[in-house]
Structure 1
Amino acid sequence: MMRCVGLLGLLLWAGILFGQVNAEDNSRANGLAVWLDVEGAIGPATHDYVKRGLAKAVEQQARVAIIRINTPGGLDVSMREIIQEIIASPIPVVGYVAPGGARAASAGTYILYATHVAAMAPATNLGAATPVKIGGFPQLPDAPDGKPGDEQTRQPRTQDAMTNKIINDAVAYIRGLAEMRGRNADWAELAVREGVSLTASEALKEKVIDLVAEDMDDLLARIDGRPVNVLGQEMSLSTQSLTLAHIEQDWRTRLLAIITDPNIAYILMLIGIYGLILEFANPGTIIAGVIGAISLLLALFAFQVLPVNYAGVALIFLGIVFMLAEALIPSFGALGIGGVVAFVIGSIMLIDTEIPGYGISIPLIVTFTLLSAGFFIFVLGMVLRARKRPVVSGSEELLHSMGEVVEDFEHEGWIRVHGELWRARAHTPLSSKQKVKVTAVDGLMLEVKPCLTDHTKER
């Protein structure tokens, strides 16, 4: 009986294993298409997600990778890194602006141009690819003769040299992508120079994209049999009956997205500074120093991949120093006000870009400015001033106190300190009524020495 049960169990497991193998074989026979979501502002986390997603698609032997795009733009460095991953991909990459209402603006347009097949869903748009100028201050237009102030003759100044360099570099870049994929390079240049945009139907008409698809299934059906060039080799897409699989962001990408958010990086930096200052002001706390060090290292990592203006960082540190100095040096508020102003200006300047989604929230700046001013000027100021006050209780209070000898003694005897009798020890003979000073406390024994008078000197 037991043998029969064992045999049946073995056959059952063999059947399950055989079914799994057949399912895997069928899946491999049908093929796999993976898709990734690029949503929101494009940054370092987006690049990490696309890079790892494409590597996973190759590992799973996917026939095609689809990047579904819905973005207002993002950082130029991250955009170029994503495009490099797409160009170097050994499997075809399809760019798909979806769902309805989505857009591929600014950096999204460049990425769509870089994909092997460009598609859009109805009611979507792309374009507005003019690069946002990073850094600098606005310049006032000058009069034709170079003399400012003449409102009648003043004309708008043409774009400065740096702006021209940025625009021309972006134009050359997107035209190169357009020529590589056989798309409309002239419109791509207009999208950069004039910031023009197109709807899905207009983009198809202008040969900016290859097709319009209602959804993923429609997209796979429409690209079937389409010729593409992958790493210099011509091939034809075979997307019929492919199994769609979504590659989601893992914990590493999500963590990177959190700490590279400018607001989070700003908070981490300030927590790090506060923690280290607390540790130095009160050594031995440990927890403040540990939290501060970890937060500051995470902030520095985020700043490494963000467009940080280091003049803003310097102003934030200067503001903190001024506010701390206000707590220690009586300046009638001058240092405190100057510190608050430097802190606010530095916080606004910290992230050196006007790209949507990559700025520090003004309410957050105001909140941390008030917290910093309160912390450094009032709280930390009171703590530091309290440490400088003389001790008024306990055995430490006896140090440097004045006393009077009760009766003559050579080495040990009695003295009166603060109206109390204490056993005292001295290295020189002392006489009754002589004034002494406490130099040390050893349990209930005081070390004393005679006070100097006009006629004696301490040797």
Structure 2
Amino acid sequence: MRRTIWALLALALLILGFLLLTRPAAAAPAGGEVVVLRIEGVIGPATSDFFARELARARVREAGLVVLAMDTPGGLDTSMRAIIKDILASPIPVATWVGPEGARAASAGTYILYASHIAAMAPATNLGAATPVAIGMPGAKPEDDAARKDRADDGAKDKDGKSAAGIGDAMMEKVRNDAAAYLRSLAQLRGRSGDFAERAVREAASLSADEALAGGVIDLIAADLRELMTKLDGREVKLDGGRTQRLSTAAATITEITPDWRMRVLALLSNPQLALVLMMIGIYALFFEFTSPGFGVPGVAGAICLLVALYAFQLLPVNWAGVALVALGAILMLAETFLPSFGALGVGGIIAFVVGGLFLMDTEAPGFGIPLPFLLGLAVASALTIAAVGSFAARTRRRPVVSGREQMTGMVATVSTVTPEGAWALVQGESWRVRSDSPLAPGDRVRITALDGLTLHVEPLTPDPVNRREGIPP
């Protein structure tokens, strides 16, 4: 009997120990370091790279929370989705805080805020205006309900049964529907307002911090990071796989990380205007190297600029037809310098360059457009530079030859030595064998009339006090 009681007691202890070992990690408060990542400005490839690297480092350091302090007008869809994928798969809770006061989370920032485990804003901040836009698509402006109803009522069918709305409108509607579904799915995942998510995409609606809190879009309002840590202390966060974690942030160490040199370089390269300038420099420098070989520096610099420009284009959502048109325009402007086209190639090159620049970017995200004045200025500057180089080359071609064998005809020399084998004269400090139909004596002044191999044909000169220096034409 006693043995049975001990066996039951041992079994009960074993089951209790098993339950304690398999207890969810959320029951234990998560303390440790809080890593704050600051993102300011346009969200692009550099931003997504910075976030991915620092999130991985925070995981290695076993941080208890990653805070994304954000102030952005929006950015690229691809970079935004890369950041959201990292947040959704993160084993560490990610809190997005729109701050400090006066900051915003517009467009792509709204999606990131919705995807975060915790959404917070500082007073006097706003979010929203999440309508996707793209170059070349009519109807890219957001529609209100009345406009959509009117378009639906007036959408007469043509003879083929297709809607009277243009293809561009249909494409933009598909993009809006995809964006609305994406933001709505993030709202459902985090238990936030799906109604505002829909309006933010379709109507470009925006909310202030107080309105967002009242509408269930965000979780809390905090004026600064320390207040945010205080309000997050003890909050339970649901992570990937259904695991929950309780935050312990009241006394946590805050480590703030700002963008490093790598992100600054990537952000600089992600500027389409700089990429376009580097491409033009690369094309012109390589052209100069091919037409004047031997110098080396233009070729090396041009190759580096062109490769860096292509790398920048690879980072950006570019239209490669636009890149080809820009390159064709530069080549045509260069060809105008050497071919007698009477301006046809040059004008065509400028047109191709400007049109290619307009087609270059596939997005109107803030910070990634190429203004028309910039394109026109760059095209005119290129045309003027090429015209100046061509004019200089033409003037140089018309000048008399000042070096080589052709230069020597007509120059004056002084006979230095006369022997039975022949005579020699000094020409610009060099001793040349000379031949003349008239007898020569040392010290005679002669004029070079022709060259026969390494022998100069000369004729005697009457002494002229003005032309005493050797090698100077009279």
Contact 1:328 1:381 in 2 (8 A): no
Match of residue 42 from structure 2: 41
- Note the residue ranges of structure 1 that are not aligned, 5 or more in a row: 1-28, 148-154, 402-411, 415-419, 425-435, 447-459
Match of 1:179 among 166, 170, 188: 188
The 5 Å alignment of 1:92-241 reads 92-136=93-137, 144=156, 160-232=169-241, 233-241=243-251
Picking from 298, 302, 321, the partner of 2:331 is 321
User: Structure 1 residue 244: deviation in Å?
Assistant: 1.0
Kept after mapping to 2: 8 A contact 1:54/1:65: yes
Q: Which residue of 1 aligns with 2:32?
A: 31
Q: Which secondary structure state, in structure 1, belongs to the residue aligned with residue 100 of structure 2?
A: coil
Specify the code of the residue in structure 2 equivalent to 1:122. Answer: P
The change in CA–CA distance for 1:145 and 1:218 in structure 2 (over 3 A counts) is closer
Confirm or deny: 8 A CA contact 1:262 1:360 kept in the other structure. yes
Kindly state the Cα deviation for residue 42 of structure 1 after the two structures are TM-superposed. Answer: 0.6
Kindly tell me: are residues 33 and 120 of structure 1, through their superposed partners in 2, closer, same or farther at Cα, counting changes over 3 Å?
A: same
Q: 1:266 offset after TM fit, Å?
A: 1.4
TM-score of the superposition, structure 1-length normalised?
0.75
1:298 paired to 2:308: yes
2:55 maps to which residue?
54
1:265 is aligned to 2:275: yes
Partner of 1:77: 78
> What amino acid is aligned across from residue 396 of structure 1 in structure 2?
R
Q: Give the one of 337, 354, 373 matched to 2:347.
A: 337
Residues 421/46 of structure 1: CA separation in 2 closer, same or farther (3 Å cut): same
Tell me which residue corresponds to 2:265: 255
Residue type at the aligned position of 1:334: A
**Structure 2 SS opposite 1:337:** helix
C-alpha contact 2:433 2:456 (8 A) present in aligned 1: no
- Which SS does the other structure have where 1:160 is aligned? helix
1:315-349, Cα deviation, whole Å (9 max, x unpaired): 22222222222212233323222222222222233
Matched residues in 1 for 2:107 and 2:309: separation?
A: 27
Decide whether the 8 Å contact of 1:33 with 1:245 is kept in 2. Answer: yes
Instruction: Give 1:146 deviation, angstroms.
Output: 5.3
TM-score relative to the length of structure 2: 0.73
Q: Measured at CA, do residues 368 and 441 of structure 1 come closer, stay the same or move farther in structure 2, by a change above 3 Å?
A: farther
Identity of aligned residues (%): 51
Distance 1:117 1:255 in 2: 30
The AA in structure 2 aligned to 1:196 is A
- In 2: Cα distance, 1:393 partner to 1:158 partner: 66
Q: Give the distance between the partners of 1:361 and 1:146, measured in 2 at CA.
A: 37
Partner SS, residue 95 of structure 1? strand
User: What's the Cα RMSD here?
Assistant: 3.2
SS in 2 for 1:220: helix
Q: Which amino acid aligns with 1:251?
A: W
Using the TM superposition, give the Cα deviation of residue 279 of structure 1 relative to its aligned residue in structure 2, in angstroms.
0.7
More relative contact order, 1 or 2 (CA 8 Å, 6+ apart):
2
Q: Which residue of 2 aligns with 1:366?
A: 376
Check whether the contact 1:398–1:441 (CA below 8 A) recurs between aligned residues.
no
1:281 matched to 2:282? The reply is: no
SS in 1 for 2:285: helix
Cα distance, 1:118 vs structure 2: 0.3
CA distance in 1: counterparts of 2:453 and 2:103, whole angstroms: 78
CA contact (8 A) 1:73 1:108 kept: yes
Q: 1:366 to 1:284 in 2, by over 3 A?
A: same
